[in-house]
Structure 1
């Protein structure tokens, strides 16, 4: 396992906080990188200083909205900047998180992840990708987007995963210098929760605790709803499954 220095891009985000925690708990030197620490992956401000002496870059920075065009531009620019700055700093490799089904998506934020993956794998630094299922925390976002007292949530299959589980798997991948780069015959590793569920039914569990009525809908208007309904965004047979179920995660937070 690697004993080098790790930089975490997007360190103050939902996933990034857990990645920093896992690295610290395992005794790895870690450099948290975000706009809050004076690093901007789009303008490049602060990148050179932050990456000084870094061996592995873990990229969990994400765009804040679902618009495909804006997200695509963010990932394209940020990835190019990270590779260029990382190469100048002498970093060994970069490890990025993506979403299960990114290779099948045709629209929306998940499709933007295709560009993220391609930009990493074609960049000057050796790259590794981890595709994750949607996070447990995503359910709360769906309820926050409601109109009035009712949340309309797609009744689509999902296999939600805890951020902490994704962070642990990502650090495992990043700390392994012998991990293979995805390519012909080498699938992109995946991580998902332990159980397949229906998104609207999971949302009902959280809605009941928040006093919000949840109504399941068919997904009309959702990007790639047909692909999702057919299981296109569920983990493959090679995926690592683990962590708490949504209810276990919810009970632990309560």
Structure 2
């Protein structure tokens, strides 16, 4: 099959490219570095010629809710319209578990708009909601660290390995559209502060962690909000296994 991966140079996108090529599929890489701009549509028609399925693993950052909704919405509408014109038969969207339970997060608002457009759009689809990735705690520390101190919310998560997510996206892309895929999660529930502490130890870094709800994430994300539903698909790689491998 000829499969396009949007966000092909990102964390999950690049791993999905590898997973698809290992299975013998022809992969079209969609990113600005390959001359395709999803904001404007530049280069998109040529990239989608003869493509059977598209995996959307694009990740964007916006400072506020309106900006996030606008950016995710614009890129998704552009991509879906080009797919419909090219005769693409399957659109696979990577999403996030819990975005429907948290109202105040700008990124989640953008992802909700993206899901809505895909579900109401012209191309048959599968949405794969995944939990936070194993490298999430390290990312949060990177966002928050100031002078050797980082605030980290005590989120309860069931993180999943990025490589496991890519394998599932590759599997789904070559199958038939299924609508909403079961939640995808790792095998163990974790506390984000503890994950950050263990990651820093493995990296040999000294950062003082301050658990708080007054930082990047608020108390609306406490409890089971970010955990997968019953019937979730459980990926095999534990956080500890990922940590050892990534070190």
Please report the TM-score for the alignment, with normalisation by the length of structure 2: 0.93
Distance in 1 of aligned mates of 2:135 and 2:58? 16
Question: How far does the alpha carbon of each residue in 1:133-187 deviate from its partner, in whole angstroms, 9 at most, with x for none?
Answer: 111222221222201111221111011111111111111212111x4223xxxxx
Alignment of 1:2-17 (within 5 A): 4-17=1-14
Change (3 A) 1:156 1:14: same
Give me the whole-angstrom Cα distance separating, in 2, the residues matched to 1:66 and 1:136: 24
Which residue of structure 1 aligns with residue 199 of structure 2? 206
How far apart, in 1, do the equivalents of 2:53 and 2:9 lie?
18
Quote the offset at 1:111 in angstroms.
2.6
Q: 1:160 to 1:19 in 2, by over 3 A?
A: same
Tell me which of 131, 134, 144 is aligned to 2:132. 134
Question: Which structure 1 residue ranges, 4+ long, deviate > 4 Å from structure 2?
Answer: none
Q: Distance in 1 between matches of 2:226 and 2:64?
A: 19
Match of 1:115 among 89, 113, 116: 113
In structure 1, what is the equivalent of residue 87 of structure 2?
90
Q: Structure 1 residues 66, 193: CA separation in 2 closer, same or farther (over 3 Å shift)?
A: farther
Whole-angstrom CA distance in 2 between matches of 1:176 and 1:47: 23
Deviation digits for residues 32-65 of structure 1 (CA, Å, limit 9, x no counterpart): 1100000000110000000000010110111034
Cα 1:16/1:253, change in 2 over 3 Å: same
Cα distance in 2 for residues equivalent to 1:37 and 1:20: 14
Match of 1:185?
none
Tell me what 1:75 maps to.
72
Aligned partner of 2:158 in structure 1 is 159
2:214 paired residue number: 220
Shift of 1:68: 2.7
For residues 45 and 35 of structure 2, what CA distance do their matches in structure 1 show? 11
- Ranges in structure 1 where 5+ consecutive residues have no aligned partner: 183-187
How far apart, CA to CA, are the structure 1 residues paired with 2:195 and 2:62? Answer: 22
Per-residue displacement from partner, 1:98-122 (whole Å, max 9, x unpaired)? 1001121202212321111001111
Q: Which moved more, 1:130-139 or 1:92-101?
A: 130-139
Unaligned runs of 5+ in 2: none
Q: Work out the CA distance in 1 between the residues paired with 2:72 and 2:62.
A: 12
Matched positions, count: 244
The more displaced of 18-27 and 207-216 is: 207-216
1:230 aligned onto 2:223:
yes
> In structure 1, what is the equivalent of residue 173 of structure 2?
174
The answer to whether residue 58 in structure 2 is matched with residue 61 in structure 1 is: yes
Between 1:164-173 and 1:102-111, the stretch displaced more is: 102-111
1:51–1:89 Cα contact (<8 Å) kept: yes
Tell me the SS of whatever aligns to 1:201.
helix
- The secondary structure found in structure 2 opposite 1:15 is helix
Preserved contact between residue 131 and residue 189 of structure 1 (Cα < 8 Å): yes
2:93 counterpart SS class: strand
